[in-house]
């Protein structure tokens, strides 16, 4: 078992060899957001099924003796591929009932045969490790006897608010991006006045915005007035002026950062890693390791993790915590943009990077968009990338980390559909990493149904 | 409001939001996949359209399907303006 996973298990369960049942419920942020008022707007997304199928990332985190709850089994080719690299996935547990549109957690709760299997695992002392805990995951733990490897749903929801993050960052005296918490329309109006008087642009973020959504950059008074007009109209219509958003001054940045620490069941705090997060307009595009931070900056983040972890524990939380941060153009680290008190995309990379990266090397986590005429098999994707794969002997190469997202939208499509291939790219230096990325992009482009549409 | 006026307004709003010139689009062009609108820009697009077309939109009532293509957004705008869509979407391919 990787030392990354052993450390995680020891922190949250007390036993480095504990058996975990992983449930990678990427949709958890939407559940937490349900009781809060964010920005006006339709929930536009063409990729719900893709988001849910990201659950397969758990295949490369869990160890052979662990379990992974999944909507449908892993492609046998993907399992054999991972095993061949020494990354044998956990045993798969698939709900026998799967109502259309249900989340994996809801399907588990509606599958008596699977619940009996989980009860047996619970009696043997296994833990449930959801990506994040909402009411459904807590209920699975309660009715099966699996021990929850983190805080309960109420505490998890509370500490995942950006309003909570901002307030504890200020209380702990950490460097904060100038801005304000807003819990009413009038507070938003005041925060926009103050913000736009001091900065050329501000960002309004929903307290429970799902990653890459629920934020808007306002580059001046006109846009601010437009937003206020819409928000006030909604308040009139609903009879409530409640709002749950934060306003931040727009800061020029050198890099986005993502770091992780784990708050143990006993209150101990372990700093896990810091990576550079690649984003476009706030939308997650990948991670780069190592980050460009110097030793002192990393030490500061370790200290910050300790302070945040202690504070979260005081509020009843324990478990894995990811934090988004920013390295400003001013070379200052702004250590808290938001706290995601759950596992993050980067959490799932730890076992594979530990096994396959080389000292001094670089690793890029990224996904490649695909436009496909028909579902592809794992073998087809694997063959298309022949010569680029990370093997035991080559330092440069690609690891496929999630296959289910390639065909996730196929079932609902009446024509060509969009897919995503999630990967880790390994290379001795950035130059060779760039060449590998370019080569992979070209090969995958040949699989794409329609040309001339790069993203 | 005529259909071509609605399409022109959408192109102007997209030009503002995407910070690049958007013109001569097909109604079948998909806002996200083809024109590269992202989910964070949808609210910005609506705010811009409100000013350009002189409508009031209730964003919470909007359906994701309204944002599928330039054509579906045009249909939405014409309905919001009280103008009939002058030909069925299927006929425009």
CATH of the domain at A205: 3.30.1490.20
Instruction: Say yes or no: B19 contacts chain A, CB-CB below 8 A.
Output: no
Q: Which two tokens stand for residue B55?
A: 């409508």
Q: With an 8 Å Cβ cutoff, are A40 and B42 in contact?
A: no
pLDDT tens per residue, range A138-194 = 999 999 999 999 999 999 999 999 999 999 999 999 999 999 999 999 999 999 999
Distance CA A336, CA A331 (A): 15
pLDDT tens per residue, range A234-272 = 999 999 999 999 999 999 999 999 999 999 999 999 999
Does residue A391 share a domain with residue A335? no
Nearest-CA distance from B47 to chain A in Å?
6
Report the residue from B34, B41, B64 with minimal CB separation from A45: B64
Q: What is the DSSP string of A133-191?
A: --HHHHHHHHHH-PEESS--HHHHHHHT-HHHHHHHHHHTT----SEEEEEEHHHHHHH
pLDDT tens per residue, range A303-321 = 999 999 999 999 999 999 9
Q: Which residue of B has its CA nearest to A218?
A: B44
Distance CA A4, CA A320 (A): 12
**pLDDT (average), residues A321-339:** 94
Is residue A163, in this structure, part of any structural domain at all? Answer: no
pLDDT tens per residue, range A7-31 = 999 999 999 999 999 999 998 988 8
At residue A215, does pLDDT exceed 90?
A: no
At residue A282, does pLDDT exceed 70?
A: no
Is residue A451, in this structure, part of any structural domain at all? Answer: no
Q: With an 8 Å Cβ cutoff, are A40 and B59 in contact?
A: yes
Distance CA A444, CA A404 (A): 16
Residue A204 · residue A247 · CB < 8 Å = yes
Does residue A321 share a domain with residue A400? no
pLDDT tens per residue, range A72-96 = 999 999 999 999 999 999 999 999 9
Does residue A306 share a domain with residue A245? no
Residues of B in Cβ contact (< 8 Å) with A216: 40, 43-44
Q: Which of A199, A222, A249 is the last residue of a domain?
A: A249
Does residue A117 share a domain with residue A17? yes
Residues of A in Cβ contact (< 8 Å) with B34: 453
- The count of CB pairs under 8 A between chains A and B is 75
Report the residue from B34, B36, B64 with minimal CB separation from A44: B64
In this structure, the number of other CB atoms found within 10 A of the CB of residue A296 comes to 8
At residue B90, does pLDDT exceed 80?
A: no
At residue A46, does pLDDT exceed 70?
A: no
**pLDDT (average), residues A435-452:** 83
**pLDDT (average), residues A51-62:** 94
Report the residue from A223, A280, A418 with minimal CB separation from B47: A223
Instruction: Say yes or no: A215 contacts chain B, CB-CB below 8 A.
Output: yes
Does residue A418 share a domain with residue A316? no
Task: Kindly indicate the confidence band of residue A451, based on its pLDDT and cuts at 50, 70 and 90.
Answer: very low
Contacts of A438 (CB under 8 A, 6+ apart): none
What long-range pairs does B56-62 form, CB within 8 A, spacing at least 24?
Answer: B56/A233, B57/A230, B58/A40, B58/A233, B58/A234, B58/A237, B59/A40, B59/A41, B59/A42, B59/A230, B60/A40, B60/A41, B60/A42, B60/A234, B62/A41, B62/A42
According to the model, what pLDDT value does residue A192 have? 97
- Alpha-carbon distances, residue B28 vs A417, B11, B20, B73 (angstroms): 15, 13, 20, 11
Helix/strand/coil for A6: helix
Instruction: Say yes or no: B59 contacts chain A, CB-CB below 8 A.
Output: yes
Q: With an 8 Å Cβ cutoff, are A41 and B59 in contact?
A: yes
Is residue A308, in this structure, part of any structural domain at all? Answer: yes
According to the model, what pLDDT value does residue A68 have? 98
Is residue A300, in this structure, part of any structural domain at all? Answer: yes
Distance CA A449, CA B6 (A): 31
Is residue A30, in this structure, part of any structural domain at all? Answer: yes
According to the model, what pLDDT value does residue A274 have? 96
At residue B91, does pLDDT exceed 50?
A: no
Give pTM, 2 decimals: 0.89
According to the model, what pLDDT value does residue A386 have? 95
Tell me if ipTM is over 0.90.
no
Task: Give, rounded to a whole angstrom, the gap between the first and last alpha carbons of chain B.
Answer: 21
Q: Which two tokens stand for residue A40?
A: 């006006």
Instruction: Say yes or no: A39 contacts chain B, CB-CB below 8 A.
Output: yes
Instruction: Say yes or no: A206 contacts chain B, CB-CB below 8 A.
Output: no
Nearest-CA distance from A44 to chain B in Å?
5
In degrees, to the nearest 5, what angle opens at C-alpha A428 toward C-alphas A397 and A442? 40
Report the residue from B36, B39, B46 with minimal CB separation from A213: B39
Does residue A198 share a domain with residue A51? no
Report the residue from B34, B62, B63 with minimal CB separation from A453: B34
Q: Which of A203, A223, A249 is the last residue of a domain?
A: A249
As a whole-number percent, the residues of chain A with pLDDT over 90 amount to 82
Report the residue from A42, A212, A237 with minimal CB separation from B63: A42
Is residue A354, in this structure, part of any structural domain at all? Answer: no
Residues of B in Cβ contact (< 8 Å) with A214: 40
Residue A179 · residue A166 · CB < 8 Å = yes
Helix/strand/coil for B21: coil
Mutate to test the interface with B, among A42, A216, A419 (most CBs of B within 10 A): A42
Packing angle between helix B3-18 and helix B42-53, nearest 10 degrees?
Answer: 130
According to the model, what pLDDT value does residue A79 have? 97
Report the residue from B33, B39, B47 with minimal CB separation from A44: B39
Does residue A441 share a domain with residue A363? yes
Nearest-CA distance from A235 to chain B in Å?
11
Range of the domain at A395: 359-445
Rounded to a whole number of angstroms, the CA Rg of chain A reads 22
Among A161, A192, A183, residue whose Cα is nearest residue A242: A183
pLDDT tens per residue, range B39-49 = 778 888 888 88
At residue A279, does pLDDT exceed 70?
A: yes
Residues of B in Cβ contact (< 8 Å) with A212: 38-40
Does residue A403 share a domain with residue A282? no
Nearest-CA distance from B33 to chain A in Å?
8
According to the model, what pLDDT value does residue B92 have? 39
Does residue A235 share a domain with residue A154? no
Mutate to test the interface with A, among B39, B65, B90 (most CBs of A within 10 A): B39
Residues of B in Cβ contact (< 8 Å) with A41: 42-43, 46, 59-60, 62
pLDDT tens per residue, range B21-75 = 888 888 888 888 788 887 778 888 888 888 888 888 877 777 878 888 999 999 9
CATH number of the domain located at residue range(s) B3-88 in this protein: 1.10.1200.10
At residue A44, does pLDDT exceed 70?
A: no
CATH number at residue A371: 3.30.70
What is the number of structural domains in chain A?
4
Does residue A131 share a domain with residue A65? yes
Residue A234 · residue A282 · CB < 8 Å = no
Is residue A169, in this structure, part of any structural domain at all? Answer: no
């Amino acid at each position: 078992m990787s030392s990354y996973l052993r450390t995680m298990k020891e922190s949250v369960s007390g036993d480095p060899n504990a058996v975990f049942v992983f449930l990678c419920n990427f949709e958890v942020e939407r559940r937490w957001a349900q009781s809060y008022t964010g920005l006006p707007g339709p929930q536009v997304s063409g990729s719900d099924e893709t988001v849910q199928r990201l659950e397969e990332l758990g295949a490369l985190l869990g160890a052979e003796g662990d379990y992974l709850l999944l909507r449908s089994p892993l492609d046998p080719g993907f399992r054999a591929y991972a095993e061949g690299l020494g990354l044998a996935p956990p045993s798969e547990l698939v709900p026998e009932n799967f109502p259309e549109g249900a989340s994996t957690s809801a399907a588990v709760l509606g599958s008596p045969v699977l619940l009996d299997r989980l009860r047996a695992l619970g009696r043997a002392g296994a833990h449930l490790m959801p990506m994040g805990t909402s009411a459904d995951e807590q209920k699975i733990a309660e009715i099966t006897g699996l021990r929850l490897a983190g805080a309960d749903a109420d505490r998890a929801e509370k500490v995942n608010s950006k309003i909570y993050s901002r307030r504890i960052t200020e209380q702990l005296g950490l460097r904060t991006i100038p801005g304000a918490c807003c819990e009413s329309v009038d507070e938003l109006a005041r925060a926009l006045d103050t913000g736009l008087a001091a900065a050329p642009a501000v960002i309004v973020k929903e307290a429970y915005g799902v990653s890459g959504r629920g934020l808007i950059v306002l580059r001046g008074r006109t846009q601010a007035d437009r937003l206020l007009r819409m928000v006030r109209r909604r308040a009139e219509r609903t009879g409530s002026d409640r709002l749950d958003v934060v306003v931040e001054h727009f800061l020029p940045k050198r890099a986005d950062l993502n770091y992780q620490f784990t708050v143990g069941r006993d209150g101990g705090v372990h700093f896990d890693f810091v990576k550079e997060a690649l984003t476009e307009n706030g939308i997650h595009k990948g991670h780069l390791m190592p980050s460009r931070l110097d030793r002192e900056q990393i030490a500061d983040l370790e200290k910050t993790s300790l302070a945040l972890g202690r504070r979260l524990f005081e509020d009843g939380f324990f478990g894995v915590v990811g934090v988004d941060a920013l390295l400003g153009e001013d070379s200052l680290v702004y250590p808290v943009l938001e706290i995601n008190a759950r596992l993050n995309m980067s959490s799932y990379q730890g076992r594979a990077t530990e096994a396959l990266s080389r000292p001094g090397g670089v690793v890029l986590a990224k996904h490649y968009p695909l436009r496909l005429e028909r579902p592809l098999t794992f073998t087809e994707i694997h063959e298309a990338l022949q010569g680029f794969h990370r093997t035991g002997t080559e330092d440069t190469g690609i690891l496929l980390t999630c296959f289910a997202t390639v065909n996730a939208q196929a079932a609902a499509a009446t024509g060509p559909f969009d897919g995503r291939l999630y990967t880790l790219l390994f290379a001795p230096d950035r130059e060779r990493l760039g060449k590998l990325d370019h080569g992979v992009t070209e090969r995958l482009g040949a699989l794409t149904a329609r040309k001339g549409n790069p993203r | 409001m005529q259909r071509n006026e609605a399409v022109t307004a959408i192109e102007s709003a997209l030009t503002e939001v995407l910070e690049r010139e958007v013109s001569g689009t097909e109604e079948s062009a998909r806002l996200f996949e083809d024109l590269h609108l992202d989910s964070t820009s949808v609210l910005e697009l609506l705010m811009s359209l409100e000013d350009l077309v002189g409508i009031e939109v209730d964003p919470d009532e909007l359906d994701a399907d309204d944002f599928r293509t330039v054509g579906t957004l045009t249909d939405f705008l014409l309905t919001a303006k009280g103008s009939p869509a002058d030909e069925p979407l299927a006929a425009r391919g």
